[in-house]
Amino acid sequence: MRGTMKRIAGAIVALALGAGAANMALARPGLYIGAGSASTTASGGFDGTTTLVDDPNTTTLMYLAGKLDAGSGLGYLVGFGFNRFLSVEYVAGSTSHKASHVVGNQKNDATADIGFAGARFNLPLGEKFELFARAGLNQTSVTMKDFSATGTGSSAANTFNPTAISTETFKGSGQSVGVGFEYYFKRLGIGFSQTAHSVDFKTVKGAGTTASIDPPLKTTLNQSLVTLTLNFKGSK
């Protein structure tokens, strides 16, 4: 996914820079796209102490919910403005992290991929600046390298013996809310946003097996985006 996002981001930035030379007026209504940098922090379920197992009495699979360090990466968005006050958007961000757990001392690679669809409510402050709020739903996955294991024994009796280590992927969904601002120069916009994604992770896949998480692993992922946007429709 990271390679695809880099290509998308590169294409969007090239389009935006090319459009910057055109002498067209500011507009939010109509189609717009954007790309830029993303940074993500996590709190809640990924605390570095949580261990999930299929059955603690006859353990065959163990999953470690590692603590995610702050990470960075790329983000992009596509939206459609009905007017200067209301838009619908899809916003995505993919960030790279390091993850750690009380079981073991090493830090492993991890990624967080967040896709968010919802409404954007704009408050124009003059012709070139606006504040906005976002609200909607997210689909999220977090992948941690070498944090799941197959083995024998019992975690309840502290006799679990790992025999193979593998990468795991948590998947979940939830609600998202955020705020931000954007400054416009002709058809270009430069913006910053902060969005809190509340996620219930309900499945985890590792060692070729997908397990349900009950109750869900509740986590909040806070993602900041700095974006360059291009508006395709120009109007006064």
Domains detected in the chain: 2-231 (2.40.160.20)
Measure the N-to-C terminal CA separation of the chain; round to a whole number of Å.
38
Report pLDDT for 74: 97
Q: Say whether 19 sits in a helix, a strand or coil.
A: helix
Among 4, 7, 50, smallest CA distance to 144 is for 50
Phi and psi, residue 107, nearest 5°: -110, 130
- What is the reported pTM? 0.83
* Average confidence (pLDDT) per 10 residues, the chain, 236 residues: 50 43 51 96 88 70 88 96 93 96 82 97 91 98 89 70 84 98 90 97 87 91 96 64
Among 92, 118, 100, smallest CA distance to 40 is for 92
Residue 204 to residue 212: CA distance in whole angstroms: 7
Cα-based distances in Å from 12 to 8, 9, 195: 6, 5, 22
Cα-based distances in Å from 72 to 36, 91, 226: 11, 16, 11
My answer on whether omega of the bond before 215 falls inside 30° of 0, hence cis, is yes
**Please, are residues 88 and 77 in contact by the beta-carbon 8 Å criterion?**
no
Q: Which residue has the tokens 């955020």?
A: 178
My answer on whether omega of the bond before 29 falls inside 30° of 0, hence cis, is no
Q: Say whether 26 sits in a helix, a strand or coil.
A: coil
**Bridge partners for 122 per DSSP:** 132
Residue 81 to residue 92: CA distance in whole angstroms: 18
Q: Which amino acid is at 9?
A: A
Q: Say whether 84 sits in a helix, a strand or coil.
A: coil
